[in-house]
Amino acid sequence: MKKIIGIFLTVVLSMSLILTGCGKVQETKDAGQKSDSGKTTAIENIVIEVESYGSPADSTRSTNLQEAAQELNKILEEKGDNRRVEVKTNHVSSGYDEYNRKFMLAHKSGGGADIRAISHSDIAMMAQGGYILQLDDYVNNSEWSKYVQDIYPNLWDASKWMARIYGIPQDTEARPLYFRKDILKKLGWSDEQISALPEKIKNGEFTLEDMTRLAREAVKKGAAKIGIYHRPNNGADFITLVYDFGGRLFDENTGKLIFERKPIKDTLNYFYQIAQVDKVIPSGMTSMEWRQIHKGWVEGEVLFWYGGTWHWGEYQKVEYHSKLGKLSENYMFQNMGYALVPAPSKGGKPVTLSQPYMYVINRNTKYPDLAFALIAVASQPKYNVKHAVESGHLVISSAAAEDTAYKQNRFLHDVQYMLNYTTVQPNHPEFGKFTSAFFKAIQAVEMGEYDPEQAVNWLEEQLKNDVKDMVFVD
């Protein structure tokens, strides 16, 4: 009986996804408009489904397209195109892997949202799988090209797979090391010393070792409950540390992934040290809930937090603080600072990592030209700046960076320099296998199941079995 029930539920789920996808672009006929010849032509209303992912503060990834549809419809009317676009949005804030899995299942049945916002690191996987459209002609040769030509070149690089464009950059970010000013004051730091910390990190004068030592001091003296927090699940933040230790993960000349043993082992050793030796993070950090982490940070229990620029916006929109609820920006400026991730050694170069989001177009869409036109119109500074300011992201173009509202935003102005130190993850269809296994290795050293040598040996063996396109370097 259980087997029969299981089969029934699977069929119901599959049918619901199929039905959802089938309705993604709908046409209805409305009252017409007069053409140049004086004849009345029917208006074609086209529904385009948009889905996006991110924190609640990132919902403008979808709603910006909804607003841009009004401008697009005016353009269509002026050029005598009888089509009109209506946008239906769905913004998802939890379960990124599930977000992609649902789309891929719907796509196989001919459905799926017409436009999606995804991490650039999924471009290769989605392109190789045939889920998304190649966009070179639309970007370079269409009537809508003028709206996207000002986008930063390095963001276009992040949108490519096999030298072809598959995404339109939507935003970018940096991943700062946040620190609590109030905790540093409890340790006797002056305002001048606190203000100078980001510059000292930028100059390589304050290292990862200094950070760990300070975290240990804060916990020992009772100024903080926890020294350091990092994300609890698999994600790009851990890759930042590999780059910080000088690692390379991708060879652009050969298109192959690289496993460099020393920097990867150094990274595993770092997480082993802070969890098992210095004990400045919880050994069960990778099993904590996101909300528990955000709450501890905003309530001043933690000295350092490996966060993202978007968290600046998120803490002003989500009630994580048990007494204050949503934080005011004034409170945040008074109590929180931000800097690059410190270099491992004195004089070294600090880093951050950007994971640009991309709009991609479903290969199943019936109206790829309108989908691209909608994205192009929404890429203008007035929409992109609104998203950046509300969500704590960085803009995609030099024109947007010159927008008055963006330039006057203190936080975004402060972190803009981080793009000079940023890195990105490889666009490779098998990179996800590396990050999944790497995260398990980090879990193992933090929980004391493996020491760094055992963990790197295990990781290397796993990847030799699972990843075909990887070069191993001692």
Section 382-390 average pLDDT: 96
Beta-sheet strands, E only, within 167-263: 168-171, 177-180, 226-229, 250-251, 256-260
DSSP code per residue over 31-43: EEEE-TTS-EEEE
Q: Percentage of residues in the chain with pLDDT exceeding 70?
A: 92
Task: Evaluate whether 426 touches 355 at the Cβ level (below 8 Å).
Answer: no
- Please report, for residues 179, 196, 281, 303, the alpha-carbon distance to residue 182 in angstroms, rounded to integers and kept in the order given: 9, 15, 19, 9
pLDDT digits (tens, 9 = 90+) for 171-191: 999 999 999 999 999 999 999
Does residue 6 register a pLDDT over 70? no
Give the confidence band of 296 by pLDDT, cuts at 50, 70, 90: very high
- pTM score: 0.83
Determine the average pLDDT of the residues in 155-161. Answer: 93
Confidence band of 154 (pLDDT split at 50, 70, 90) = confident
The whole-number average pLDDT for the span 408-412 is 95
Cβ atoms < 10 Å from Cβ of 7: 10
Contact 257, 430 (CB under 8 A): yes
- How far apart are the C-alpha atoms of 260 and 179, rounded to whole Å? 31
Task: Give the C-alpha separation, 393 to 356, whole Å.
Answer: 9
CATH number, domain 44-172+355-424, options 3.40.50.300, 3.90.226.10, 3.40.190.10, 3.40.50.2300: 3.40.190.10
The CATH architecture annotation of domain 177-354+427-472 reads 3-Layer(aba) Sandwich (3.40)
- What backbone phi and psi angles, to 5 degrees, belong to 184? -60, -35
CA 179 vs CA 228, 277, 329, 393, 414: distances in Å: 9, 22, 15, 19, 15
Is pLDDT of 8 > 80?
no
| Residue boundaries of the structural domains of the chain | 44-172+355-424, 177-354+427-472
DSSP calls for 362-397: BTT-S-HHHHHHHHHHHTSHHHHHHHHHHHTPBPSB
Residue 41 pLDDT greater than 80, yes or no: no
Under the banding of pLDDT at 50, 70 and 90, the label for residue 7 is very low
Q: 468 CB contacts (<8 Å, ≥6 apart)?
A: 430
Residue 111 has pLDDT above 90, yes or no: yes
Is 44-172+355-424's fold the same as 177-354+427-472's?
yes
Q: Is the pLDDT of residue 13 over 50?
A: no
- pLDDT of residue 357 exceeding 90: yes
Region of 7 (left: φ > 0; alpha: ψ -120 to 50; beta: rest) is: alpha
Name the amino acid, one letter, at 320: Y
| Average predicted confidence (pLDDT) for the chain | 92
Query: How many CB atoms sit inside 10 A of residue 274's CB?
Result: 24
Residue 281, judged by CB atoms within 10 A of its CB (0-12, 13-18, 19+), counts as buried
pLDDT digits (tens, 9 = 90+) for 263-288: 999 999 999 999 999 999 998 999 99
Residue written as tokens 């760990």? Answer: 212
Q: Which of 1-15, 220-234, 301-315, 328-342 has the lowest mean pLDDT?
A: 1-15
